[in-house]
Amino acid sequence: MNEKLLGLTQRRGELLARIAVQREEMAEIEAEWNAPLALADQGVAAVRFLRHHPLLVAGAMALFVIRRHSVAGLMWGVWRVWKGYRDFIFITEKT
């Protein structure tokens, strides 16, 4: 009985040592992935913000696209903004 108990105690010690090594490895992996995952979270938050503020997106796109002051340039800019906004909404609905 003592030999069996001694074997179990030894096995438990080995398993506890293995668990400690695995915890250290997981801590190293977490440290490596902490910054990239934080950046991804910020990206997701930015997409959510833009998705909830479509007029802000449309206004920013309009300012970026419309460079000429003619009516044709204005119409072309409106067309590009509308197409871009439609594509943006389509992409964000998938996330």
What pLDDT score does 58 carry? Answer: 79
89 contacts 54 by C-beta, under 8 angstroms? yes
What pLDDT score does 68 carry? Answer: 56
pLDDT(71) > 70: no
What pLDDT score does 78 carry? Answer: 75
**Alpha-carbon span 38 to 44, nearest angstrom:** 10
pLDDT(66) > 80: no
**Alpha-carbon span 84 to 57, nearest angstrom:** 10
DSSP character at residue 95? -
pLDDT(23) > 80: yes
The reported pTM is 0.46
What pLDDT score does 94 carry? Answer: 64
What pLDDT score does 65 carry? Answer: 66
What pLDDT score does 31 carry? Answer: 93
**Alpha-carbon span 63 to 86, nearest angstrom:** 17
50 contacts 56 by C-beta, under 8 angstroms? yes
pLDDT(95) > 60: no
